[in-house]
Structure 1
């Protein structure tokens, strides 16, 4: 029996979701990656950039460029960490807080569309499987 092409489907789904969000971000320029940063900061105000990077599974160089774009867009401010001059902290601006609300509405709309036609038990299995994918993929040792 041939296994389903889960990896191919997962990559295609990821790209489609990012494109969907990016296309609806309007003139904010925030997009899917920026929304992730804003969502994290909404729950972890004044967070270390390194903590945001780790939480989103991003690379330091990618996060650096993303934070710079969010700063230029007026959504976040960067300040030195008082305990470690090499580290920086991020905080949402009023514009960033407003963007979180708009992004949350957008993501809520997409979640409604993605779960349409699935009952609660099926959605719970999908959620559990996606969390499992993340855990397995984050393991340091290869499974093979």
Structure 2
């Protein structure tokens, strides 16, 4: 199962990266943008935790997204050490494009499976995520 899961993860990331190469965002950047679309003006630490990323990894990713005009940083008004992230208009447009891209991928991923099978797969993936979070 682990081998299959790792291969599936790599395949999905490569699929997204190949189809978003012209944006420079990629799979990891899309994760940040999707999170910010639902959590505007989020603390960078919250984004890091939600994505299961390392602080150094998210820092480089946010730098690229900021240079690409997709996100802005601002100091937290309550804690001078904390940084908040927000989507720019370009970031919002990128989220819309990524939704289309991911929608196409989702359709391919569930093709040939019944709705009840897809529900089981979803529950299993959520289960895997909870296990990794609880063991850290």
- Does the pair score TM above 0.5? yes
Structure 1 residue 63, shift from structure 2 partner: 0.3
TM-score under structure 2 normalisation?
0.98
Say if 2:80 is the partner of 1:98: no
The number of residue pairs the alignment matches comes to 136
Consecutive unaligned residues in structure 1, runs of 5 or more: 1-5
Structure 2 counterpart of 1:76, from 63, 71, 75: 71
Question: What stretches of structure 2 of length at least 5 have no aligned partner?
Answer: none
Which 4+ stretches in 1 moved above 6 angstroms? Answer: none
Q: How does 1:1-144 map to 2 (within 5 A)?
A: 6-140=1-135
Per-residue deviation, 1:136? 1.5
For residues 20-49 of structure 1, the C-alpha deviation after alignment (integer angstroms, 9 at most, x for no partner) is 000000321000000000000001100000
Q: Give the Cα–Cα distance (whole angstroms) in 1 for the partners of residues 4 and 106 of structure 2.
A: 18
Give the alignment's TM-score, normalised by structure 1: 0.92
Q: CA RMSD in A?
A: 0.9
